[in-house]
Structure 1
């Protein structure tokens, strides 16, 4: 017998990271295609979007346990996990189909109405997937650092900024292999308005992220309940302070904000990599901050009396 899990682990944080980034990549690709023209984002970036969502889904299955019964998560229409699982599945399918329109060798690649339809579904399901982790956490009223709508907006901004950074890196990688795949009829997006403007979009989102995160922690620390103050104290001067201030705010937000605005692909690429690192650090910190929770009256006393599973009387019972 073992205690019930009180917090989620690193796999859920990495699921939030990949799913959010992949969902935002679908949103950026879909909006670019609808409003700026065909081939504005690289096929590699379009392909990696649903791949990242799928990777996040796999990690979610492992985190929930009993992977061979993972189909059950799709069976309860009232559960928030069921809602998220179906949207991840739709996002993956929409993303792969949309990507196929960028390969000229495929017979349906010139079907503009169908392409636009899947661009729309990319935006819808991608936005839901990018926002969903924040919604899931905000619903946990017993976790003082998560509760409230603010965490939803912070996750959405982080998803969009990491998705933009991932599209930048995808284009740089695609530029290096473009001669290999040119025979497939893939559109070269290296000169598109979107990819030229992505560094400015990423910089703007990073500035907004910096301001909102400082404000969020300050509000939790100074203007909320006692439990929220205690939880936020970890981020201000406790064990999360160094990874939050040095890892996320400086290395993952402020420094890449400067780098992506410097001319030259090398600096922009390095900035994009730091953005992605910062997004991962943020999600790990937020998920692990769930260990600070509001206990029901008598709950801690009750749990302290539960057997751990290695007591002598349980060993004797199991040996019979």
Structure 2
């Protein structure tokens, strides 16, 4: 029957925009000719891809136009709201009556004067098979859970989350409050509230700019800075988790004390190893290196001369 209800919505409804999407979303759940269906606000927001305010405004507009009726005395699964499409029900009743004897009979277009079938007690009882029950049911009534377990069931989560202060209880901690802020060091590097290990901590843009502005990047070079970072992580691997701000301060202090990569020895002699000859002092080795560069004899004798 949802096909017939949707056809009425497409062909004869005067709704527009979000209101039309809401109407068609409800019509898609209509199970029979009574045109009664349940739908939660959260499911309508998801299906129409509209805001809660827009959906509420659309529901009010549809009720005012007479194309939608809220049945306050009925509950759907998980206490979802129950609606009826009265003009669609009148249209389907008109078509059924006209085609009862002749399936090919012509049916006049629907009008506002077409009578809407009433919902009697028997009809309301039949609605229970679709998970729609009276709000004040007897204690012996079975559970109001939708027996079909359809994918269109509303979520069990409260669509309107409880609030604590200015933050929702169900809000995610991983999303930064400022959408333009990059996700660094888990919960955001600017707040420094995240607790993480040294191995998981990442160099944020502010820390990298600090190394460049204070000359450490020029002093150590990119490879030297990476080596200092690796050494820092190795020494801090066993430390307890800290905040991102604490790790950043510790990392800066480590880099500031890090020595630049060592340069080649100046006392290396041509044709020999890097160590000076046995018995020579460092000054003698330097003198020998200079004499070798000038082509003069090297050794202790040359130095003595």
Question: Under TM normalisation by the shorter chain, which class is it?
Answer: under 0.3
Higher relative helix content:
1
**Higher RCO, 1 vs 2 (CA within 8 Å, ≥6 residues apart):** 1
Q: Output the TM-score relative to the length of structure 1.
A: 0.22
Q: Output the TM-score relative to the length of structure 2.
A: 0.23
